[in-house]
Structure 1
């Protein structure tokens, strides 16, 4: 436990793991009711299965490979707290025997992304369902990438402060409207799986990059699923 905390605190020195005995001391409304019950469970295998059932309930067969990987390699889930902000720490021992730490933020977090908040009702329902009922982002703890980023970090592609020099190098006319597009997945290296809410039927998305030619008409969930598992490995 101490080795894990030492590692976590290299990135956030005030981070702490909440013991089961402390759960009842958390003020009502700060975490989902389901989390209250989840972290009273002493058996970590039961905790894991209960949490994965939440994933399956709200996103169905989407992220199938991610959920299957977690089902096989997830070692534990613990409640984590930083400055009265709560999230779930996923401890994964991957197929190579390496330990990875992923953070699943609280779906009750306040909305801190003005552009996205104005457009939230136009974002596909399944994406909203994940953020509102499973996690406000699920990503590698050390890099805050290789997953669905928290709402505050979702990239508005139309932001005038962003330099999309790739636009001058496009091999064909741009096929999305940057003013209505948001990057929900980040690989931490300037690439995003983005939704243009004016053209997102059937989970249609774009793999948008600051450096590479975009890939249009990709399936949002399939692409995110593939990239998350790449991150695990």
Structure 2
């Protein structure tokens, strides 16, 4: 993209450089190295599809939107940290998503169900819309227990039948909704939507809600 530098600056990237070659000593996954070396969008889409392929069934809507509307994907180095940046153009509006390097350690990773933790370990430690900081997986360092915040809504709804100390959110919709994991029973985690303006929605399907909310974020 001719105006890539401008778009990144407008989306609150600071002190960054677009990586066009990589030192062999840089600790990057193969897919990231391939993105850096790719010469055209078709190749980049193929790399992204392969990279995300273990989650193709769980995030079918998200991957379809990426495949059909990805305008570019690049690796940048921002304040010394590598990031993968996705530019998704729908109806002439470019949404900029940023993915951190995958990680095998960090807060909350051991609390997550195996299939969710696998995303953080193999794809991105957080993949989200840059301006809002939401609408996708939160980085491990930004995840919080519900009890870590004050929720005025608790004064207006019946007392939840779960312990806020055992529920953490992994996604927010840049508004009032938080997609949460209840680990009261670690062997049988439950999923819920915690709202800041109404009663929670319990017993939801994690991946279907995540996929649908990402789709809404990208298309609205």
Normalised by the length of structure 2, the TM-score is 0.89
Residue of structure 2 in register with 1:18 after alignment: 19
Please provide the CA RMSD for this pair.
2.1
Counterpart Cα distance in 2 of 1:109 and 1:80: 21
CA contact (8 A) 2:34 2:47 kept: no
Q: Name the CA shift for 1:200/1:211 in 2 (closer, same or farther; >3 Å).
A: farther
CA contact (8 A) 1:203 1:219 kept: no
Aligned residues: 218
Normalised by the length of structure 1, the TM-score is 0.85
Q: Name the CA shift for 1:142/1:125 in 2 (closer, same or farther; >3 Å).
A: same
Deviates more, 1:42-51 or 1:198-207: 198-207
Alignment of 1:36 with 2:33, yes or no, is: yes
Alignment of 1:137 with 2:126, yes or no, is: yes
Residue of structure 2 in register with 1:107 after alignment: 102
Q: Which blocks of at least 5 consecutive residues in structure 1 are unaligned?
A: none
Residue of structure 1 in register with 2:6 after alignment: 6
Q: Give 1:146 deviation, angstroms.
A: 1.0
SS at 2:202's partner residue? strand
Q: Which blocks of at least 5 consecutive residues in structure 2 are unaligned?
A: none
CA contact (8 A) 2:97 2:129 kept: yes
Q: Give 1:34 deviation, angstroms.
A: 3.1
Counterpart Cα distance in 1 of 2:197 and 2:66: 31
Counterpart Cα distance in 2 of 1:207 and 1:52: 29
Counterpart Cα distance in 2 of 1:207 and 1:26: 43
Q: Name the CA shift for 1:110/1:84 in 2 (closer, same or farther; >3 Å).
A: farther
